[in-house]
A and B are shown apart, each in its own frame.
Chain A
Amino acid sequence: MEQTEIDALMTMGKSSKKSKTASSGAKPASEAPDVNAPAADAKPAPVAPPPAAPAPVPPPAASAAAKPATQKPEQPARLITEIGSVTSVTERETNKVMDKLDMISRLLDRQKDLITGMMGNENAQNPAIQSAIQQIMGASSDIQNQVYEAMDLMQFQDITRQKLERIIHHLRQIHDYILDLLGTGFQTEEQEHHKVSLSRTIAQTGTTPDENKPHADSVVEEFMRAQKKD
Chain B
Amino acid sequence: MKILVVDDSSTMRRIIINTLSRIGYTNVVEAEHGKAGLEKLAQGGIEMIVTDWNMPEMDGLEFVGVVRSTDTSIPILMVTTNAAKEDIVSALQAGVNNYVVKPFTPETLKEKIESLLG
* A92 closest partner in B (C-beta): B10
B78-98: which residues lie under 8 A (CB-CB) from chain A?
80-89, 92, 98
A109 in the interface (beta carbon within 8 A): no
Q: Specify which of B8, B14, B53 is in contact with A95 (CB 8 Å cutoff).
A: B14
Known contacts being A155-B15, A215-B83, is A220 close to B105, with CB within 8 Å? no
Q: Given A159-B102, A205-B81, A219-B88, check contact A199 B11 (CB 8 Å).
A: no
Is the pair B85, A219 in contact by a Cβ cutoff of 8 Å? Answer: yes
Q: Give A41 to B87 CA distance when docked, in angstroms.
A: 12
Proximity string of chain A (198-217) to chain B, C-beta cutoff 8 Å, 1 when within and 0 when not: 11111011111111110110
Q: Which residue of A lies closest to B101 (CB)?
A: A212
Give the Cβ gap from A168 to chain B, nearest Cβ, in Å: 13
Considering the complex, give the chain B residue whose CB is closest to the CB of A39: B54
- In the bound complex, how far is the Cα of B59 from the Cα of A148, in angstroms? 29
Interface string of B19-60 (1 = CB under 8 A from A): 100100000000000000000000000000000011111010
Q: Closest CB of chain A to B17's CB: distance in Å?
A: 11
Chain A at the B interface: SS class? helix
Does the CB pair B83–A196 fall under 8 Å? no
Considering the complex, give the chain A residue whose CB is closest to the CB of B12.
A158
Known: A148-B106, A151-B18, A162-B81. A220 touches B56 (CB 8 A): no
A223 and B89: CB pair below 8 A?
Answer: yes
Inter-chain pairs besides A152-B15, A157-B11, 12 sampled, C-beta below 8 Å: A43-B84, A95-B14, A148-B106, A152-B105, A155-B15, A162-B54, A195-B56, A201-B81, A201-B83, A208-B103, A213-B100, A220-B99
